[in-house]
Amino acid sequence: MSGPPTTLPLRSSPDYWASANADIQAHLERAIQIRHPLAVSEPMRHLAFSAPETTAPALCLLACELVGGSRDQAVAAGSALRLVHAAASAHEGLLSSRPRKDGPKFGPNIELLTGDGLIPFGLELLASPTTQAESSSRVLRAIIEIARASGSHGMVEARYNEIEMIDSDGDEEEWVERVCKKKEGEIHACAGACGAILGGRGEEEIEKLRRYGVYVGMIQGIVAAKRVGRGRRRRRRRRRTWLERKVGELRELGLNELKGFDREKVEPIASLMLTSEHDRRLRVTD
Amino acid sequence: MSGPPTTLPLRSSPDYWASANADIQAHLERAIQIRHPLAVSEPMRHLAFSAPETTAPALCLLACELVGGSRDQAVAAGSALRLVHAAASAHEGLLSSRPRKDGPKFGPNIELLTGDGLIPFGLELLASPTTQAESSSRVLRAIIEIARASGSHGMVEARYNEIEMIDSDGDEEEWVERVCKKKEGEIHACAGACGAILGGRGEEEIEKLRRYGVYVGMIQGIVAAKRVGRGRRRRRRRRRTWLERKVGELRELGLNELKGFDREKVEPIASLMLTSEHDRRLRVTD
């Protein structure tokens, strides 16, 4: 057993994430080929690769490595998570309450249909023939996790909550719980759990990495929302203070879940809890 | 080996299909429960159960029985196929080139989001924990089949073809090949193959039932499209003659694929090739 990773010197090193993302990108580049009819495959490539960045896919790979698995075991699941995110982004632009500023590149019909194809394609990648029966059951479990997180009681419900609260000046606490926890929290939780499942670890580690994912996702949600920048100055300051405190609490809770793992291996996955970048982004929105 | 099933007295007996559909309905009723938030789960139930009828889900169950499997082995795959069809129907109503006459019941945003949740939910049902390692790999294979058929190079490409040809007065032959074969043909092919896979049969039977599915689907597509009823009388007559001949050919080809299966067991799955109903429907459109 190693000491508490909260004492780790968290260097400003996004390299781990960049390298995991590069592996996912390469996997998807090979999988999504331009083929006839171009009107179908071109928008698919475009939507898959142009979606805004998210940390969940890389978390899946790093969680797998943390429990002693190899990155290869999780790269298809990471790719599926990226496609789930891309599908959600494509359809988000079509919701009539939040028209995208730049408008859909391919017209709404194509973005609707193409978005429809991305999630099944991701799960197809994940289900690709495996040779060992043991890994078949792990893959099935990861499929259940990802399907649940992207389905009607996961992502879809989260977007429903978000739309409901979109113009709400409501309580920050409620927003963090109903939107950040449900939206970014659950998909990151799924990513952490899938990494541990595919790495072949037991229930305790799976649940630890699931909880770690919730905290990472909530922080991502808070930081990405740029919620500080609205309203009067005094209110903004109060909000920022509250959000900074909240991010701090979530970071502690998250790092706490990494206790007990191999201390040597904790740094890559812990690097997402990095202080400086979050603080910078919260500050920019002030 | 049994004689050619083309000589079977094909009685007007849709009971086999009705009973397979009832099993799928019951499976879905148990799986889709009304839960909080109602704004998410109610439209999901509605869209899942209100989609127009399709024969692919039942074909999956009957194919499984034909190869000696039990209906239970295929009911989750049949349910997934029904949800894939329901998702496509929900999003079809949102395509701007084909507004639905009655309009979406829940508003376009809800139908978009709810449709998004249906396919992952279907695949989640299919991936539900299985105890035997042997059946895990069959289930994974069925997931790949269904994901591929509902993804960007399956259903999505088919809908693209259909939209392209929607107002085309083009060649019947081209329409049958590009729309009916790709749209109804492929999803029925997937259903037949999945039934055989889940029933535990070898490649030869899987491919026979895949081809049988193509023919069943093409006939369904031709009969459902009511394409005869447009244009001048002489042209309509010519079209009807051509389509009737085509349906006859497809029926022969389909029944041919059922040769070699247990003669006793062929009747249920062959009953979809029933003459009278198709002819009646083609006639009505004249």
Q: Which residues of chain B are within 8 Å of residue A124 when distances are taken between CB atoms?
A: 143-144, 147-148, 151
Helical residues (DSSP H) of chain B, grouped into ranges: 15-31, 38-50, 56-66, 72-92, 108-127, 133-150, 155-164, 172-175, 186-198, 203-224, 233-257, 263-270, 275-284
Interface of B with A in 259-278 (CB under 8 A): none
pLDDT of residue B130: 62
Cα-Cα-Cα-Cα dihedral sign, residues B159, B160, B163, B169: negative
How do residues A24-41 score in pLDDT, each as one tens digit? Answer: 999 999 988 877 777 777
pLDDT at position A93 is 76
Chain A environment of B114 (Cβ under 8 Å) = 152, 156
Mean pLDDT over the full length of chain B: 82
Helices in B128-232 by DSSP H: which ranges?
133-150, 155-164, 172-175, 186-198, 203-224
Give ipTM to 2 decimals: 0.77
Read off φ and ψ for residue B96, nearest 5 degrees: -70, -20
What is the per-residue pLDDT for B169?
63
Phi, psi of A34 (to 5 degrees): -70, 120
Contacting residues of A for B47, CB less than 8 Å apart: none
Range of the domain at A39: 5-284
Segment B229-258 mean pLDDT: 86
Closest chain B residue to A95, measured at CA? B109
- The lowest-confidence range among A52-66, A90-104, B2-16 is B2-16
**Overall number of domains in chain B:** 1
* CATH code where residue A62 lies: 1.10.600.10
- List, for residues A223-282, the tens digit of each pLDDT value: 887 665 566 788 778 888 888 899 999 999 999 999 999 988 899 999 877 655 565 566
pLDDT at residue B195 is higher than 90: yes
Is B224:B278 a contact under the CB 8 Å cutoff?
Answer: no
